[in-house]
Structure 1
Amino acid sequence: MVAIVSAVLFFIAFLINAADISTNDTFSSTNLMLLGLTALALHVAGIGSGWSVRGRRR
């Protein structure tokens, strides 16, 4: 789920950068890219993945 959020943020940042849309400082393409990288790092760390590995059941 967090990986999908990061992909959407990367896509929006790409559109802002490719279309050369002037936005305020909060929604710049760099800030959206950094938010996407943060979400991707959280996904790689296992937060928001929905799976919890507790060990094998026998």
Structure 2
Amino acid sequence: MLGIAAAVLFVISFLINAADITTNDVFSSVNLMLLGLALLALHVAGIGAGRPSRRR
């Protein structure tokens, strides 16, 4: 789920950068990209996974 959220943030960041839309400092394309990277790192770490892995 976090991987999908990261992909959405990357797309929004790309659209803001490609369309050269001026936004305030909070919603700049770099900040959205960093949030996407943080979500992607959490996804790779296994946090927010849909199903916990079962150990035997």
TM-score range (shorter-chain normalised) is: over 0.9
**TM-score computed with the length of structure 2 as normaliser:** 0.94
Q: Show structure 2 runs of 5+ residues with no match.
A: none
**TM-score computed with the length of structure 1 as normaliser:** 0.91
Cα RMSD (Å)? 0.8
Identity rate, percent: 71
Matched residue, 1:18: 18
TM-fit CA distance, 1:50:
1.7
Runs of 4 or more above 2 Å deviation? none
What code does the residue aligned with 1:47 have?
Answer: I
Matched residue, 1:9: 9
